[in-house]
């Protein structure tokens, strides 16, 4: 199981690295748009809508890795104040809820993406793009989050019966 978890962690790191590259490309594109708008050299009016899509894709690609690293937002003041076993039970409840929500969102995202693909849905703004391009990263992200919640629950099962102190559950 540890070998699978490590390989899965590498997949999540690859997605995170891709998110970082998207951030770099988005930064360069926005700077180029501001430069060309102020100098009148070119019209990059399409860059705003591309950056919207990039922002969404970047967020979705980074989310599973951030969960694995414990870098997601976590308010645990009450959790740390509870007795150890009660805190551990709350960790289970949170992971189960996160898993259920991720599975539901991945499934719904798949239905939307599949319907958009089959129906030929298009987004028409400055550029015309297939709608499913914008929704596919959500399916990938919530599918990966679902699997990560399973790994988190496996690690929690094997751990001492207390809450995670640093929220880092990666092996």
Task: Calculate mean pLDDT across residues 3-8.
Answer: 93
Task: Calculate mean pLDDT across residues 48-77.
Answer: 90
* Residue 23 pLDDT greater than 90, yes or no: yes
pLDDT at 167: 57
6-25 in b/e form (b: 16+ CB < 10 A) is eebbeebeebbeebeebeee
Task: Calculate mean pLDDT across residues 3-14.
Answer: 95
- Nearest alpha carbon to residue 135 among 98, 100, 99, 107: 107
* Residue 169 pLDDT greater than 90, yes or no: no
- Give the SS3 label for residue 164: coil
Cα R_g (the chain), whole angstroms: 20
Note the pLDDT tens digit of each residue in 121-145: 999 988 899 999 999 999 999 999 9
How much of the chain exceeds pLDDT 90, in percent?
74
- Tell me the pLDDT of the chain averaged across its residues: 91
Three-state SS for 51-78 is HHHHHHHHHHHHHHHHHHHCCCCCCCHH
β-bridge mates for residue 129, sequence order? 123
Weakest mean pLDDT among 10-19, 49-58, 97-106, 158-167: 158-167
pLDDT at 166: 60
Task: Give the Cα separation of 60 and 54 in Å (integer).
Answer: 10
Note the pLDDT tens digit of each residue in 81-110: 899 999 999 999 999 999 999 999 999 999
Segments making up each domain of the chain, as ranges: 2-158
Note the pLDDT tens digit of each residue in 74-87: 777 888 889 999 99
């Amino acid at each position: 199981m540890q070998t699978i978890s490590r390989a899965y962690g590498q997949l999540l790191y690859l997605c995170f690295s891709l998110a970082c590259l998207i951030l770099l490309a988005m930064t360069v594109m926005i700077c180029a748009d501001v430069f060309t708008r102020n100098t009148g050299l070119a019209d990059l009016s399409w860059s705003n809508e591309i950056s919207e899509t990039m922002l969404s894709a970047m967020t979705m690609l980074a989310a599973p890795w951030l969960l694995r690293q414990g870098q997601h937002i976590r308010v645990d003041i009450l959790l740390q104040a509870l007795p150890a076993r009660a805190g551990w039970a709350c960790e289970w409840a949170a992971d189960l809820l996160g898993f259920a929500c991720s599975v539901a969102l991945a499934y719904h995202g798949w239905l939307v993406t599949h319907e958009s693909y089959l129906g030929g849905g298009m987004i028409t703004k400055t550029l015309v793009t297939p709608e499913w391009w914008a929704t596919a990263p959500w399916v990938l992200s919530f599918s990966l989050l679902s699997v990560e919640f399973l790994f988190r629950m496996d690690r929690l099962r094997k751990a001492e019966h207390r809450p995670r102190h640093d929220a880092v559950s990666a092996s």
